[in-house]
A and B are shown apart, each in its own frame.
Chain A
Amino acid sequence: MKTSFTLNGKAVQVETAPDATLLWTLRDALGMTGAKFGCGASLCGVCTVHLDGMPVRSCLTPISMAAGRSVTTIEGLAEEELHPLQKAWIDEQVPQCGYCQPGQIMQAAALLRSNPRPTREEIVSYMNGILCRCGTYLRIIKAIERASQSR
């Protein structure tokens, strides 16, 4: 099955099995390995990417859902320079193992787009679906607050 969509601002067409998911298509067919595999069941959120600007768990998103739409991954988040969240993530030295962080950052980017000045409670509520085993949650909150204030 052929699917055409926009990936990080560029038109792409990809040939996959009809039941392929967006996650494995991005990772293995399109080389965008920033979105990670964690649970395959939409429980951990490390596979989070944007579909038309909205965060989705790509591990359970069928590739057909991407057809004609715009997909953004962590590799496409920065424009001229790093996204304010990426800078804040460095300033706060958030990542430890780093595996969940692309998912965390993509979820946070969607938050700031819809709510540029979130309260701490709003941050926690919006980010709660993304797991971090290293326990970086408090630094994630600080980084989102920092990025929010810098905008």
Chain B
Amino acid sequence: MNGQNESSRSTISRRQFLAAAGGVTFVIAAGAFAPDIFAEESRSVPGEDKQITAWVRVQEDGRIIIYNPAAEMGQGSMTALAVIIAEEMDADWADVQIEFSPIEPSTYGLQWGGKLGGPMITVGSRTVRGYYHALRHAGAQARYVLLHNAAEKWGVPMAELNTGQSVVIHKAGGRKMSYGEIAAFAKAPPQLPEIPEVEWRKPEDFRLIGKVIPRFDIPGKVDGSAMFSIDVQVPGMVYGAISRSPVNGSKPELLNEEDVRETEGLIDIVQLDHGIGVIAETYEQALNAKKKLQISWSKGAKAEGFDSVKAYALYHKTAQDKSVQGEVVERSGDVAQALRSAYKTYDIEYNTDFAYHAQMEPLNAVVSVAADGKSAEAWVGSQAPDTARRAISETLNIDFSQVTLHPCYLGGGFGRRSMADYVEEATLLSNKIRRPVKLIWTREDDVQYGAFRPICLQRMQAATDEKGNLTGWGHCITGTGGGLLDSGATINYYTIPNRLIEVRNIDHGVRTKHWRSVAHGPNKYAIEAFLDEIAVDQGIDPYELRRRLMKDHPRELKVLDEAAALATWGEIDKEGRARGIAFCERSGSFSAAVVEISLDRSSGQIRVHRVWAALDAGVVVQPDNAIAQMEGGIVMGISNVLQESITFRNGKVRQSNFHDYPILRMADAPESIEVRLIPSREAPQGIGEASLPLMGGAIANAFLKLTGKPLRHMPFTPERVLEALEG
């Protein structure tokens, strides 16, 4: 990384660059589109090569460099996207190297309305489903360029040529030419044709898609060489730390600037809207200066006085208020009428506490603002690198093109890293001294100035007829977080005639954010736990109840059936154990899981022993990685469901580190997780968040079966479990 700035300038002129115009890719001369990100030194594979298309370079030695436009935060999409291109361009996977693409959303942004050019965001399990079609096409175009060049070289029609694993073959002439050989003379055609889908590789001929291919990023993650932004070192770099508002919205006044300035190694103090920043020669010196800060915080912020434990009383009142109509998520039929005319009704509330992302790499960024303030370079691990790049340009009031952003691996994202707050902060610090600054949040900063999955209460209502059929469904979500509250509330896969789903948001002025699977965690928990309470009351097996509700949805039903079969549902549970089932759709995928739990009745500790899950995510590009995502979501889900809770008192976050915000440790992980992927030719769907929302319902349902008692407040901490047992 060292010296990157100087040397990159000299290499730019040698390169050709590509720009996309109207969805068609042209090769144009250097200069018109020349982000520094193309710098030779930023590449994992230096050397002479040819830019074949906007997505692919080929080296004369045969190495094929494919660009990855997505953040790699552990979900494996950097490999999956390259697999898609390599499949269609008929590359030998052994030749493939993967690099981050430039942060140019017009070329590398997600398919948005069918075409590339949307934002470069890695959120909502969008990556594979948001690039699959476009990158198959891009791979087919790269293959076209190689075929076109070989045809010209040999003076034969393109139609006589074929490809086979990094080689162009002319069967009639009995000759072959490797992609590397073609790279030596290749010229990109002035215009790339659209390749019709019928000419793409047939799914039955896939060599890479759907096969087990080791992830590209893993070797660097086992030898310490993988670069996270926290690992980046640039010449002249110094370190920043910030003391931020303990109550969101309060403004700082520094009371002891002179004392702080005497800290060894201190370079500068930076006044921010929401805190005081310090910059020092080393990080530990910056932390020493931060500790010394005496700050008076302004009064009157909206969040002042907020108490998250007491908030549930307000949510309850709001959810029960008949005079209020919330924002309607879905309305069909007449629920009020269905409830009035029901043989039996149910009305139960479920609570879910705030959740913190707890990504293992605390937020950080390296930003270097040029001495004249007119350009900047940054090293960031971001789920939205184009947003981060824009945030820097807007903070400095300079053009987007004057910001160079080097994407780094993310030590976890889970939704926290699609916000650019930490990048803006690093920019402000660097701008103050016009030197490279690495800003690092401490774990305490990361927890206490977190942006959390919202607290919420779900009021669930149901009407049944005399046979126990569900005839009405009401789901009222109250909490804080606006648009973060409703995902996963709809249940189109369950046939229930009268439905009303609504959100009644209350703004407390605290920071909220997307958190892996967003509101699917709380909503699917409430839906699935409620169904089991109804099933038990009606004397119906919970799996059977779901089967009946899914009778019009065979694809979803198959997923449920697969999970139940895997778990041998219906078998008698071992002594002291019970199984619970749940179903979920998220990001287009369907998933179901069965968990087996036991309970320590003296401590109130629930233990999840085994998990069986099934997934239908359409075409799965990387099956082993899909299983890893399912496993990870299950473990993170169990962690969240059993022990994670952020609470506020007097507007302040009460937790600060892993001692009071524990996340699941190895000893508490299930003994086994079995995942079945259902084969499919349907379009690929999101996988990274598919399994997490299953855990709340499945665990509550197993608990209900084991004890006869419902669990109605996540997380199911030992204290709450003991309360439920007494209740």
Which residues of A are in contact with B by a Cβ distance under 8 Å? 17, 19-21, 24, 27-28, 31-41, 43-44, 46, 73-75, 77-78, 82, 86, 89-90, 93-102, 105, 124-125, 127-141
Contact = CB atoms under 8 A, between A and B. Distances in A.
A146 B482 CA distance: 48
B672 interface: yes
A97 B657 contact: no
A128 B662 CA distance: 13
Given A17-B282, A78-B223, A137-B635, A98 B663 contact: no
B657 A39 contact: yes
B664 interface: yes
Interface in B666-688: 666-667, 669-670, 672-673
B667 A124 contact: yes
A86 B224 CA distance: 10
A137 B628 contact: no
Contact of B215 (A19, A34, A46, A93): A93
B636 A135 contact: yes
B30 interface: no
A140 B631 CA distance: 12
B411 to A, nearest CB: 3
A82 to B, nearest CB: 7
Contact of A101 (B73, B221, B440, B672): B221
A132 B638 CA distance: 13
A24 B412 contact: no
B409 A138 contact: no
Interface of B: 73-76, 214-215, 217-226, 228, 230-231, 233, 239, 264-265, 282-285, 358-362, 409-414, 440, 442-443, 624-625, 628-629, 631-636, 639, 657-659, 663-667, 669-670, 672-673
A96 B635 contact: no
A133 B359 contact: yes
B44 to A, nearest CB: 16
Nearest to B228: A99
B291 to A, nearest CB: 12
Contacts of B664: 135, 137
B409 to A, nearest CB: 7
Nearest to B412: A97
Given A75-B223, A95-B221, A128-B665, A135 B360 contact: no
A147 to B, nearest CB: 11
6 cross-chain pairs, A with B, having the tightest CB-CB distances, nearest first: A34-B224, A135-B635, A98-B221, A99-B411, A96-B74, A97-B74
Given A133-B412, A136-B631, 13 more contacts: A38-B361, A39-B443, A40-B443, A41-B659, A43-B659, A44-B443, A93-B625, A96-B75, A97-B412, A98-B220, A127-B666, A134-B636, A135-B639
Contacts of A131: 360, 658, 663, 665
Contacts of B226: 98
Contacts of B667: 124-125, 128
Most chain B beta-carbon contacts within 10 A, residue among A39, A44, A89, A98? A98
Contacts of B669: 135, 137-138
A48 to B, nearest CB: 12
A133 B217 contact: no
20 contacts: A20-B282, A21-B284, A24-B284, A33-B231, A37-B230, A43-B658, A74-B222, A93-B218, A93-B624, A95-B217, A96-B628, A97-B73, A98-B74, A125-B667, A128-B666, A130-B666, A131-B360, A133-B358, A135-B632, A138-B635
Contacts of B440: 37
A107 to B, nearest CB: 10
Contacts of B659: 41, 43
B517 to A, nearest CB: 13
Nearest to B220: A98
A24 B440 CA distance: 12
Contacts of A90: 214, 218-219, 222
Contacts of B225: 34, 75
B284 A17 contact: yes
Given A36-B411, A44-B360, A132-B360, A74 B285 contact: no
Contacts of A21: 284
A95 B666 contact: no
A12 B361 CA distance: 28
Contacts of B412: 97, 99, 133-134
Contacts of B358: 133
Given A24-B282, A36-B360, A136-B632, A97 B409 contact: yes
B658 to A, nearest CB: 4
A94 B219 CA distance: 10
Contacts of A128: 665-667
Contact of B223 (A38, A43, A74): A74
Contacts of A139: 628, 631
A91 to B, nearest CB: 9
A138 B664 CA distance: 12
Given A37-B440, A41-B657, A100 B360 contact: yes
B414 to A, nearest CB: 8
B442 A40 contact: yes
